A and B are shown apart, each in its own frame.
Chain A
Amino acid sequence: MILLSFFLVAMVLISLSMGYIQIPMMDIISILIGKLSGNHEIMKNTSETYLAVLFDVRLPRILTCASVGAALALSGVLFQGILLNPLADPYTLGVSAGAAFGASIAILMNFSAAVVSVPAFAFTGACATLFVVVFLSYSSKNPIAGLSSNNLILSGIIVASILSAGISFLKFIANEQVSVIIFWLMGSFASKTWSNFIVVFTFLVIGLFISMFFARDLNLISLGPKSATSLGVDLKKITFILLVTGSMIAAICVSVSGIIGFVGLLVPHMVRFITGPDNRKLIPLSMLAGAILLLFADTITRAVLPHEIPIGVLTALTGGPVFCWIFKKNRFK
């Protein structure tokens, strides 16, 4: 864990230095120390341009990216744990489709002039979807089957497919705005601001606290509903709390940065091979690994590649084959 934390800090520093304007590492460190300690003496011999690039452009983007990576990984751990299904990811319950639908509407109705409203619409869409999915899979008449993982996954898939048909329709009637919708859906961290970072980070910290609070209960859920209940786990309550936590985190990620696939599915799997399934270790390590992975991908698309390609595409293109390799190697050893 300490190793990964160091790695993340190093990754942040390296990605800060990389880009269209190369900033020497010494300048970055002195600027950061100067800002943090409030001692402006240290920053005297660094240029104003560096300061602006670092603080107004790169740092918010990098921190947002790392937080989103951590949040998606956390959400993935929660969903795989609750749904007892290694195929689950943050978008299983249709959160991404809901967010995408909300965003598409906002773009179509030309709300994009006001910067806030696309993410706000996306978030509302995601929450509404979650509400519908939980409503569909819960029944007060048959409390045993209520909120079971099969119900949740099925209702998630149904709602998501309705919504994606809706998105296709919106694209169809969008005419020239179709490219805006498509580009938004593919995800990007370009021009993220400090307020984006603060929103994601706040949700991330709250989510982390809640999930660590229930981490041991999440372990017990994997024993099956009866055994978990007999060990004192209030199954319905915990399923609901963690489901909402996981979905909220995923919703905020999608509304800030679009749909970034694979991090939520891949990272918990990779980390589980190393730490084992104990959620008390899995949760923090997955978050660190998720942050590193997404930051790595974002740095490549931002600073290494000649043209910036959408990060959602990059993560799926690179993450997919890596996952195939790990999967094949571990499943059949």
Chain B
Amino acid sequence: MEISLHNISFAYNNDMIIKKMSCSFVSGNFYSIIGPNGSGKTTLLDLISGFLNPSSGDVCINETPILSFSKKEISKNIALVSQDYAINFPFNVQEVVMMGRHPYISRFSHPSSNDIKRVKRIMELCGICHLYDRKINELSGGERQRCVFARALCQDTPILLLDEAFSNMDINHTLHMLRLVKQAVKENNKIVISVFHDLNLASSWSDALLMLKGGEIKAFGNAQGILTQQAIKDVFDVVSLVEFNEHVQAKQVYYPSI
């Protein structure tokens, strides 16, 4: 499976957020999008997930434009963990995770035993079983994010988009979730595209980094190749030290403390 962007642009009221972007993402890889605030990271994910339509250009899955898919077909191919994880009504955790099976359950029918089994297994994997009957809007930010994460995994799609999905999780849960995702990428040949703010996590966990600035791709490739002091200076306007860390087995970025 392959997602390809053909020369896509997107504008909010004449304000170009994404400018003529082309690139492609293939199965079995974990991609990270990094870039400063307002560089178009979330918008790019929204365009890939079909929530927004590009002003020009096409987003394609296996060379078929995503606009030609129905919403239901898209939902069986792409799952999204978005930043709007506030849930307005007091659903309990199990109900929220079960919503991930929505595309597979036909109207008026109840979840099959297969759906129930899958929800249970994913909740175990994500370590949220103990929250089973808790109300989602009474949980902490990190717990809620794990539930939303579990919901997206239940959707069982070949493509998973993560929009700062780890922003409220502690380091233990972040690593746990990253391991889950990485395993899914390698064993089930999925595509994961994740927006990260932590450059070090992005570097050590992804197969490729996509550096964005001002709606344009500044660099796209493996971290070893593109993560340099100069690139970080150019994209983030930050002075840093970048070196290969033996322990992490990846390049890491260090910042001055003054």
Report the minimal beta-carbon distance from A332 to chain B, rounded to whole angstroms. Answer: 14
B96: A residues at CB distance < 8 A: 223
- Cβ B99 vs Cβ A220 within 8 A: yes
- Cβ B50 vs Cβ A229 within 8 A: yes
State whether the Cβ of A45 lies closer than 8 Å to any Cβ in chain B: no
- Cβ B88 vs Cβ A230 within 8 A: no
Q: Which residue of A has the minimal Cβ distance to B92?
A: A276
Q: Which residue of A has the minimal Cβ distance to B79?
A: A230
Interface flags for B175-207 (1: CB within 8 Å of A; 0: not) read: 000000000000000000000000000000000
Given the interface contacts A224-B82, A224-B84, A226-B84, does A232 sit within 8 Å of B103 by beta carbon?
A: yes
Given the interface contacts A213-B107, A278-B91, does A231 sit within 8 Å of B86 by beta carbon?
A: no
Inter-chain CA distance A216–B108, complex, in Å, is 9
Q: Which of B75, B87, B108 contacts A230 (CB 8 A)?
A: B75
Report the minimal beta-carbon distance from A208 to chain B, rounded to whole angstroms. Answer: 13
Inter-chain CA distance A232–B84, complex, in Å, is 17
- Cβ A232 vs Cβ B148 within 8 A: no
State whether the Cβ of A166 lies closer than 8 Å to any Cβ in chain B: no
Report the minimal beta-carbon distance from A236 to chain B, rounded to whole angstroms. Answer: 10
A278: B residues at CB distance < 8 A: 91, 95
Inter-chain CA distance A141–B53, complex, in Å, is 12
- Cβ B107 vs Cβ A216 within 8 A: yes
B49: A residues at CB distance < 8 A: 226, 229-230
- Cβ A276 vs Cβ B82 within 8 A: no
Inter-chain CA distance A213–B106, complex, in Å, is 11
Interface flags for B96-134 (1: CB within 8 Å of A; 0: not) read: 100110110101100000000000000000000000000
Could you write out 24 A-B pairs with CB less than 8 Å apart?
A142-B13, A213-B107, A220-B102, A223-B87, A224-B84, A224-B85, A224-B86, A226-B84, A227-B82, A227-B84, A227-B151, A230-B75, A230-B79, A230-B152, A231-B99, A231-B100, A231-B102, A232-B75, A232-B76, A232-B102, A233-B71, A276-B90, A276-B91, A278-B91
Interface residues of B (CB under 8 A from A): 12-13, 46, 49-53, 71-72, 74-76, 78-80, 82, 84-92, 95-96, 99-100, 102-103, 105, 107-108, 148, 151-152, 155, 161
Q: Which 3 A-B pairs have the closest CB atoms?
A: A232-B75, A277-B89, A224-B84
